[in-house]
Each structure stands twice: as structure tokens, then as C-alpha cells.
Amino acid sequence: MSTTVLGTRTGTRRIPSRRVSRLTDLAARWGFVTPAAILLIATLAYPIGYTLYISFAAINLGTFSPDEWVGWDNYLTVFEDDRFWDSLWVTFVYLVFALPLQMFLGFLSAFLINADWKGRGVVRAAFIIPMVIAPVIAGGIWRMLLDPLWGIANYLLGIVGLGPIEWLADPFWAMFTIILIDTWRWTPFITLIASAALLSLPRDVFEAAAIDGANWWTTLWRVAMPLLVPVIAATFVVRWLGAVKMFDIALAATHGGPGRATSVVNLFIYEEAFRSLKFAESAAMSLIVLVITMVLTAIFLRGTRMLEERN
Amino acid sequence: MTQATRISTGTSRRRLLGTALALPAVMLGRTAQGQAGGGLGTAESPISIRMLANSSYSNLWQSAMVPEFNKHFPHIKVQIDGVPYNEQLAKTMLDLTGAKPTYDFYTVDDPWVPQVAQTGHLLDLKKDAAAWTAADFDWNDFNSAPLAASEWKGGQFGVPVRSNMLLMFYNRTHFSKAGLPAPTPKLTWTEFRAQMPKLVQNLGGSGPANAWAISTYFTRDTLTPTIWQAILNAHGGELVDGNGKPIFANDVGQLALQTHIDLLQWAPPGAKAHGFTESLQAFRQGQTAVMFQWGSVFRGTAVDTGSTTLKTEEVGIQVMPVGSARAGTHRGIWNGCVSAKTPNQRAAWAFWQWLSSRQGEAFASDVVGSFPARKSTLASNPASAWLKPVFTTLQEAYEVAAAGRMWRPRSAKSDQAQQILADETARAFSGDVKVAEALDSASRKIARLRL
């Protein structure tokens, strides 16, 4: 019976016109895209749109909603606030030191764990641990480790005649600590990406380099690095986007102090929004940071493309 | 159903009375359900109410306080949800101003009351809940300072349910080892400053220091300025005048902030990063002679062996040292507030009435370690001996606070001002700016808020 039906269907089927085919194709594409688009609009476009809206409004704390259009007032207030500029500077310092350090250590670790040595599987697995610990817990644990009274860090330094260091109470060391914790957390992420990239590199190129008598440095610098440039650039952009929004570690470890030494911009925005309930000004600050981030990201992406084209 | 009929001393009598009270409550609940404010529930139709409270005590309240409350009001089911302090105000505001609030009642911290009351969604307990207030619920029995914490523009939007005052804790062993007399409430800042170098000592007798004079808040935190505010008030200064204008950027303000900063000289290494937890830990582990801290930590510091190394007799408590005007303290009262939007106003108010009654306060002090605000409770003989000095100190602290107006600005923007003070004074602590500059900057920024 089924054969008959099939035969009948086959017999009566018409070749669809190009127009119908195109429409079907379009519908299928939109069918796949629509759920994701709706999700994105709900979770991204709407909040950004609302943030933009309240950044030009005054929030009535009685109704907890925007009730007056104030134009650029919130932005002017933010631009006049020295604490905002301080927090941008602190974020800049943190990024300038943390990102290159994490990139360097991440790729270095990847080279090391990709070499053939016993126990590298265990090390590779252990690398994931910092990434799965909640940042607030990580900050708290590091706070205990670095405590001058009962922390192990100063105890160990004391054994070799160093310290004590006021890790969290001195502005320099507090920033050092934030960079240290962030590097401990995120270097494994870079290592994992770099490790996968290294494994995907074509073996024949390395074999050719070996036949040509290249030593390990030449192989690394002249062969591996050029091949890895796109991965390094992409990793940098991904990590940059993650690092620029960091605030949880600063919140847990130093509360942004001492003074304003570790008050990164997102911590400052968080405090202004959720402690002072200055949602309108915080929205303005968030959008300023968003614009800065987008501009810098565009520059990085352009640079990445240029590097890829050069190679 | 009156509070007086619920007065009881023995458990069996309390149970008996509870049962007796449940009867009219049930009857009233039956008749009142459907009326404004709801009822108190019945066996067939119990009422469920939900509270948003601070996570530092919500679990304890749920496990210890609610069962006790249910002995008197068996048909009111209470669920308490805890939320961390830093998120509580925002969550309370969002819930209260929402179309359908999740919560029926809230605990609201001292400085938040104006902001939360300004929404217009809190019940004025003296007015709106008067009909459901027991005849013997004596508002005048509360000390004026804690009761004023929930007053706003002539309304009484809460009742003190967990009183907290900034106090001086001291370790008698440290003072005796340093050859110093144990402090008294008459201790002045001048005398205390002279004692502090001696309190940095090795408790074993020789060797490097393993004990320091002081632990308290120094880190960048909104509670850190409460210490210098207490010193400021002790010297007769105030944060703002009657019009909300800052008046602290002067000699008294500088003296107070400098005194707070100077404490670091005799504090443990790394104290500049110390806040609530670290200072508490240092004192409980016997590493500091004195701690300026909230009174509510007394039980965990001097009584509960699971959380402290100190013995009860070792720990003293009193108001902070005396300045040129009076002793020092700072008010921090948790207030029980009822949502004006809930249909269960009466049941929610029943909970707060019970907790803030003399019986509720006595139970909470003894079992939970939450401290009372009523003069009669503080004058009574507490069930546990360790509470006696606490009660004496609290009564004194309330009087000092009332005399010196020792609380944060009564404004809907109080937290904004406190955040500015935290930011600016933190810069003085880290040495980024001088004390005068930090206070001037804070004063300018707070003036712009128009409190």
C-alpha cells in the first residue's frame, strides 16, 4: 500500500519553481534564526534599550521607575565625578598588566603541557579547577591565604626572611593581588584554547622545520607563532571582553580598596547602582563603558584582521 | 486578645495560654478574613505570610523564632527568606514597588527606613494597624532612639525587632597583662589613646607582639564611617544639620577621622583591610584587646564556644570612649515593617507585635541573641546571666544615642551619603589625601545630594 502511495506521490510530484524553493529556504533560515533572535532581543536588546532610556531619565525612588526626562544630566554628573575617572584609570592599569601576563602564561603553559611528559594529563585536568571556582569564593580564599595575621603567604615568606607584606592593605600590593587572583583564574582558560590550537597545527610544517635543522626557538618563533597569530588575537579579544567586566574578585578580595586602589569601573558602577540606588547615573556609566569597550574591541578586531592578512 | 494575657513565665503556662489565645484568634480570624488586613488564620484555613530578612539571622529566626511564635499563633505560617545585606535594600524596594509583591513583611535596616517609607507602601503601624494592636502593646515602653529608627515624617513605619548599637568590647585578660585597669563607661578617648601602646604586647611575656590594642572597621566599606561618626558625635559634632546640610568638614570632623585613622598604629598587621569579619575574627581569637563592633555579635563573641575562643567572664562590653561631649555609639536598628499591599497585614503585624513585645524580646535575647529595645525588658532580670551587662550597656547606649543624635542622616538618600563617606574616608585611610581634603570632598558631594 505504501508503495502505491509513494508511487502515486512520485507520479504526481511537480518540480517546485525557483521562487517557491527560495521562499522555503528563506522560511527555514528564519525558522532557525527566530528563536535565537527573540531570545537575544529579550535578554540583550531590551535591557540595553532600557538602560539607554533610564540613562536619560530621573529615577523616582518612590515608584522605583523613571519618571522624568533629564537629557544629558546623568552623563554630565558622571563626567564630573572624579571617582568614575579614577575607576577607569584603575581598570586600565589592571588590564594593561593582567591581560599580557595571562596571555603569556597561558600560551607558555600550553607549550609545556603539550610536550610529551608523564603526568601531563593530571596537570591539564588540574588547570581547570580555578575556572570552576566561583569568583566570590576564590576572592575569599585568596583573602584568607594573604591575610597578614593568619594567612599562609606571609608565613612562607617569613621562613625565607621576607615580608610581611600587607597584600590587601597597601595600594600597590592590593592591585598586585587582584591581578594575581585574576591571572590564577583565567590563565587556564587561555591555556586550554592555546593547547587546542597547538594540537591543530599541521605536523608537516614542523617536520619540515626539523629537517631544515631549526632549533626549538626558531621552530617556536618562526613556525609556531605565525601559525598561532589568529588564535592569539582571537583569544586576546575574548579575554579582553571578559576582563573588562571584572568586578567580583575586587569586591570579594579588596572591596575596591585601600582608598580607590582597586575600585575597577564595574565595581564602582555596581556600588552606585545597588548600594546607592543611583540607577540612572549607573546606566549612563554603563553605556559610556560599553561605548569605550566597543571602540577598543573594534580596534583589536581590525588589528587581528591585519595580522591575519599579513601572515 | 491582648499582649497581657500572653505574659507567661513557665512553658506549660505559656502553652496553656497559647491554646486559650488561639481560640479567640481563630474566631477573630474567621470573622476578619475577607476584611481589610485579613485575619489570623484558622485550623481549616491557615494564613501564610512571607518575610524578606537579612541572611545573617533569617535562618535562626526561621528555626527558633517562628516555632515559638506559632505557639501563640498556630494558624499563621511564616516563611522567612534571607538576602545578603548588600542586596537587601534594592530587593526590598523592587518587591515593594512591584505590582504584586512577593513579601508580606520585611526587616528594614535603620538608614533605609526613609527611603522605603517614601514609597508609600509601608503600613503606618500606629495609625493603619491601630485596630489590630493589643491594648497593652506599650509604644512608650520603647527607648526613644530605637523607636525613632522607624519613624519618618510623623509616621511609625516599623517597630524595633533587632536592636544593634556600636559598642566597645574588651578583653579583660589583655588589660590585666598590660597592667591596666579594665575599662569603664567613663573611659575617655585621651585615656584610651594613652593605654593603646601598652596593649600591643606579647601575651606570653616576651617576644614579638602577638596581641594588639584594637580591631574594628578600616576597610573601604559603608560601615567603616560609622566608627568615626561615633567619635564625631562623642565630640559633639554631627554629620548634617536639620536641613540635611553637611556640617562635618570642620575641626571636630578632622579630629574624629584622624582619631579613627590613628587607631591603625595599634591595630594588627593588615588591619587597613579589616571590616566586619576580620575585626571580629581577630578579637574572638584573642588577638586584640578592644573591638569596636555591633552589639549583636556579643553572643557569638563571648558565649557560643563554637564561634569564639574567649570565655564569657573574659569579655567586657560598654559604650565607646567618651569624647569632649559624651560617650560614643552609633545606632543600627533592624525594624519590622509591614507591606501596605499585602492582604495579610494583620497576620504580619501579629508577628512583629509578638516579637517586639516584652515576651518576644526576652525570648529573642535569650535564645537567638537579638537584643531588645524596650525599657522594661532592659530593666528586667534576663534569663541568662551573660545578658545582664549587655542590657545595662544597651540602655546606656540608647540614651547616649538619643542625646547625641548618633545615627545616619534621616533621608531617602542616606545610603548614597554613606557610600560617599566610605569612598572619601577610605582615601584618607590609604594616605591618598589628607583628612581635611577627604572631608571637604565628601561634604561637597553630599551637599549635592540635597539630603
What tens digit of pLDDT does each residue of B191-235 get?
Answer: 999 999 999 999 998 888 999 999 999 999 999 999 999 999 999
DSSP state string for B166-181: EEEEEEHHHHHHTT-P
Are B272 and B204 within one domain? Answer: yes
Do B206 and B297 lie in a common domain? Answer: yes
Terminal C-alpha separation, chain B: 43
Residue B388, domain member (yes or no): no
Q: Which three cell numbers stand for residue A52?
A: 539607554
Nearest to B273 by CA among B225, B228, B216, B196: B216
Q: Are residues B359 and B433 in the same domain?
A: no
Residues B373 and B400 in one domain: no
CA dist., res. B20 & res. B24, Å (int): 8
Q: How confident is the model at residue A13 (pLDDT cuts 50, 70, 90)?
A: low
Fold adopted by A73-310: MetI-like fold (1.10.3720)
CB A250 within 8 A of CB A136: no
Which residues of chain B from 396 to 415 reach within 8 Å of chain A, CB to CB?
412, 415
Q: Name the segment(s) of chain A with CATH classification 1.10.3720.10.
A: 73-310
Check CB contact of A86 with chain B, cutoff 8 Å.
no
Whether residue B218 sits in one domain with residue B361: no
The pLDDT of residue B8 = 36
CA nearest neighbour of A52 among A230, A307, A291: A291
Which of chain B's residues have a Cβ under 8 Å away from the Cβ of A278?
416
**What is the chain A residue with the closest CA to B90?**
A274
A65: cell is: 521607575
**Contact across the interface for B423 and A276, Cβ inside 8 Å:** no
Backbone φ and ψ of A69, nearest 5°: -80, 125
Gap between the Cα atoms of A224 and A96, Å rounded: 25
Q: State the average pLDDT over residues A5-14.
A: 49
Same-domain check for residues B315 and B176: yes
How many whole angstroms from its chain centre is CA B77?
Answer: 26
CB pairs under 8 A between A and B: 101
Q: Does A164 touch chain B (CB under 8 A)?
A: yes
Give every CB contact of residue B202 below 8 A, 6+ residues apart in sequence. Answer: B208, B209, B210, B211
Of A62, A271, A276, the CB nearest to B119: A62
Q: Is A167 on the interface with B (CB under 8 A)?
A: yes
Contacts of B11 (CB under 8 A, 6+ apart): none
Specify the amino acid at residue B69. Answer: F
pLDDT tens per residue across span A92-136: 999 999 999 999 999 988 888 877 777 777 887 788 888 888 888
Task: For chain A, say whether B117 makes contact (Cβ under 8 Å).
Answer: no
Our CA-based measurement puts residue B95 at a distance from the nearest CA of chain A, in whole angstroms, of 10
Query: Does B352 fall in a domain?
Result: yes
What is the tens place of the pLDDT at every residue in B355-387?
A: 999 999 999 998 888 899 999 999 999 989 999
Q: How far apart are CA B209 and CA A164, in angstroms?
A: 14
Give B115's contacts in chain A (Cβ within 8 Å): 61, 277
Residues B274 and B146 in one domain: no
Chain B contact set for A63 (CB, 8 A): 97, 119
* A302 within 8 A of A309, measured Cβ to Cβ: no
- Note the pLDDT of residue B13: 43
Mean pLDDT rounded to a whole number for chain A: 87
Residue B36 confidence (pLDDT): 64
Which residues 6+ apart lie within 8 Å of B213 measured at CB?
B195, B196, B197, B199, B200, B263, B266, B267, B288, B289, B290
Cell of B323: 569624647
Cβ of B221 within 8 Å of Cβ of A255? The answer is yes
What does the alpha-carbon distance between residue B105 and residue B53 come to, in Å, rounded to a whole number?
Answer: 9
Q: Where are the beta strands (DSSP E) in chain A?
A: 57-60, 65-69
Q: Distance, in angstroms, between A252 CA and closest chain B CA?
A: 12
pLDDT of residue B211: 96
**Distance separating alpha carbons of residues A244 and B297, to the nearest angstrom:** 38
Average pLDDT of the residues in B119-127: 95
Look up residue B64 and give its DSSP letter: I
Of B347, B380, B413, which closes a domain? B380
Instruction: List the domain range (segments joined by +) for residue B51.
Output: 4-164+332-380
- pLDDT per position as a tens digit, B413-441: 898 999 999 999 999 999 999 999 999 99
Separation of alpha carbons B164 and B214, rounded Å: 20
The radius of gyration of chain A's CA atoms, rounded to the nearest angstrom, is 27
Residues B199, B98, single domain; the answer is no
Domains identified in chain B, total number: 2
User: Is the minimum CB–CB distance between A61 and chain B shorter than 8 Å?
Assistant: yes
Closest-CA residue of chain A to B287: A149
Phi/psi for A266 (5° steps) reads -70, -30
The whole-angstrom distance between A169's CA and the closest CA on chain B is: 5
Same domain, B318 and B359: no
Residue among B306, B261, B260, B300 at smallest CA distance from B283: B300
C-alpha B93/C-alpha B96 separation (Å) is 5
Q: Is residue B386 part of a domain?
A: no
Cell of B144: 526613644
Q: Is any Cβ of chain A less than 8 angstroms from the Cβ of B277?
A: no
- pLDDT tens per residue across span A270-287: 999 988 888 999 999 999
Q: Which helix (H) or strand (E) holds B160?
A: strand B159-162
Neighbours of A289 (CB within 10 A): 20
Q: Is B273 close to A256, i.e. CB distance below 8 A?
A: no
Reported as type and span, the H/E element at residue B427 is: helix B414-429
The average pLDDT across B267-272 equals 93
Assigned domain for B300 exists: yes
Asked whether residue B359 falls in the same domain as residue B289, the answer is: no
Q: Are A88 and A265 in contact (CB under 8 A)?
A: yes
* Cα separation of the two ends of chain A: 63
3-state DSSP percent of chain B in helix, strand and coil, to 5: 50, 15, 35
Q: Which three cell numbers stand for residue B218?
A: 578600616
A31–chain B Cβ distance below 8 A for any pair: no
Type and span of the H or E element at B81? strand B76-83
Average of per-residue pLDDT values in chain B: 91
Residue B120 Rama label (left phi>0; alpha psi -120 to 50; beta): left
Residue B242 inside a domain? The answer is yes
Contact A290, A241 (CB under 8 A): no
Q: Which of A64, A274, A278 lies at the smallest CB-CB distance from B86?
A: A274
Q: Is A211 on the interface with B (CB under 8 A)?
A: no
B50 forms beta bridges with: B79
B-chain residue closest to A165, CA distance: B270
The pLDDT, as a whole number, for residue A12 is 54
The answer to whether residue B305 is domain-embedded is yes
Q: Which of B322, B351, B380 is the last residue of a domain?
A: B380
- Taking the CA of residue B213 and the nearest CA in chain A, the distance in Å comes to 14
A258/B272 touch (CB, cutoff 8 Å), yes or no: yes
Per residue in A54-96, pLDDT (tens digit) is 999 998 877 778 888 999 999 999 999 999 999 999 999 999 9
Contact predicate A268/A256, CB 8 Å: yes
Q: What are phi and psi of B310, to 5 degrees?
A: -90, 155
Instruction: Categorise residue A172: left if φ over 0, alpha if ψ from -120 to 50, beta otherwise.
Output: alpha
Optimal mutation site among B219, B414, B435, interface A, most CBs of chain A within 10 A: B219
Q: What single-letter amino acid sits at B245?
A: K
Which range, A7-16, A54-63, B5-14, is most confident? A54-63
* Residue in this structure with the C-alpha cell 525570648, named with its chain if needed: B363
Which CATH number characterizes residue B361's domain?
3.40.190.10
Over range A233-252, report the average pLDDT.
Answer: 90
Prior bond of B268 cis (ω within 30°): no
Q: What percent of chain B has pLDDT over 90?
A: 83
User: Cβ contact (<8 Å) for B119 and A64?
Assistant: yes
Q: Do B150 and B173 fall within a single domain? A: no
Residue B187 lies in a domain: yes
Closest CA relative to residue B183, chosen from B291, B298, B343, B85? B291
Mutation pick from B200, B423, B450 vs chain A, by most beta carbons of A within 10 Å, is B423
Q: Which helix (DSSP H) or strand (DSSP E) does residue A95 occupy?
A: helix A82-114
Q: Out of B87, B273, B285, whose CB is closest to A274?
A: B87
For residue B94, the chain A residues in CB contact (below 8 A) are 64
Pair (B141, B104) in one structural domain: yes
- CB contact A149 to B (< 8 Å): yes
Query: Is residue B19 pLDDT above 90, yes or no?
Result: no
Best A67, A147, A269 residue to mutate vs chain B (most B CBs within 10 Å) = A147
Could B118 and A258 be called an inter-chain contact, meaning their C-beta atoms sit closer than 8 Å?
Answer: no
DSSP-assigned states of every residue in A207-260: HHHHHTT--HHHIIIIIIHHHHHHHHHHHHHHHHHHHTT--HHHHHHTTT-STT
